[in-house]
Amino acid sequence: MGTIKQNRANNIVTGGKIDATDGLNNNVPATNIANASLTNVTAYPPSAGAGVSQLASDPPSPTEGQMWYNTTTNTLKQYALGAGAWATGGSLNTARGQGVISTGIQTDALVAGGQIPPSAVTTETELYDGSTWTEVNDLNTGRTQAGSAGTQTSALGFGGFVPGPVQTAVTESWNGTSWTEVNDLNTARRVLAGAGADNTSALGFGGFTPPNTAITESWNGTSWTEVNDLNTARRGMAGSGTATAALSAGGEDTAALAVTESWNGTSWTEVSDLNNGRTAVNGTGTQTATLIFGGSPGPGVFTGATEEWNGTSWSETTDLATARTAPGSAGTTTSALASGGTIAPGYISQTEEWTKGLSVQTITAS
């Protein structure tokens, strides 16, 4: 069993658990301690529990990351993020789908363009304050299936599909009040994805020219520059992150894809696939923390599937209440927004709000 210093053998009880009431002042090899020893300990001595509060009941207002030992239930606990869920938010004034310009956060979001019933392309722009959408100044060029980046007060919309029908390279910059046409993409295309912090720094990638393309372009606030291509040419994927640290997930070539690629500011690298391949999907977040939702896994099929990326892999989580393709997106993995989209048949104005709250969790050995 190994050597236990200072005659502390009486501290090892049935099943390899530690009776810590006397205190342990020296080291016990990890191999001598059973996993079950995380529970049923009546108290942690200073040598074992430094920095862990010992409380008779859980604190009424813990903070994220806080850990404590409940001496009543004899359990080690923490306050950390729990499961997320979708809830109904305020509806758009104009139902729309087929890919909109969208960006921002859950309480300050922007949606512009898209397709409206029965089959017209709109220029209408709306802002969300966390409960209500308000119509503001229109786009200069109505379009659908465009790429987007930025915030509610500093956004960029680029590419897309305009009546004709034709792919466009038109780029517009939003300053919080109005849209201004700026320099075009080098390659006109639709159903592309975007990422970026604001209207001075963005990335546009993939899309349909035709055919499907892997072309990636970087925006510096003045003009677009072609940079290294995606590894897999595709359209209809979700984009998130910034111009120097982005993520591309899903999309389609000849069929719906689960492919995920990560951008480091210079090149794309394939990483772990989605659990559910799909096209016409949207998402929001950062390169290492992204939430994607909606889309289509096949012709005529609509999904509300939601997945979360932790920088290494995707995890399935709670679905949207209403399955849809190409919804608007905004926010983070803890507080996001899905607005509008396409259903069968037609377009919707419904907005759903994603919240991933903090909760008390019991730490176990498993």
For the stretch 84-132, pLDDT in tens is 999 999 999 999 999 999 999 999 999 999 999 888 999 999 999 999 9
Q: pLDDT tens-digit profile of 199-210?
A: 999 999 999 999
**Bridging pattern class, strands 201-205 and 216-219:** antiparallel
From 223, 135, 229, 235, select the one nearest 171 (Cα to Cα).
223
- Mean pLDDT estimate for the chain: 88
Taking the alpha carbons at both ends of the chain, their separation in whole angstroms is 23
Phi-psi region of 93 (alpha: psi -120 to 50; beta: other; left: phi over 0): alpha
Reported as a pLDDT band with limits 50, 70 and 90, residue 8 is very low
On the question of pLDDT at 186 being above 70, the answer is: yes
pLDDT class of 46 with cuts at 50, 70, 90: low
Give pLDDT, residue 254: 93
Residues 305 and 322: their CA atoms lie apart, in Å, by: 10
Fold designation for 86-357: Neuraminidase (2.120.10)
So where are the chain's domains?
5-82, 86-357
pTM of the model: 0.80
CA dist 175 and 30 (Å) reads: 59
Say whether pLDDT at 47 is over 70. Answer: no
Q: What is the pLDDT of residue 358?
A: 67
- For 187-238, the pLDDT digits (tens) are 999 999 999 999 999 999 999 999 999 999 999 999 999 999 999 999 999 9
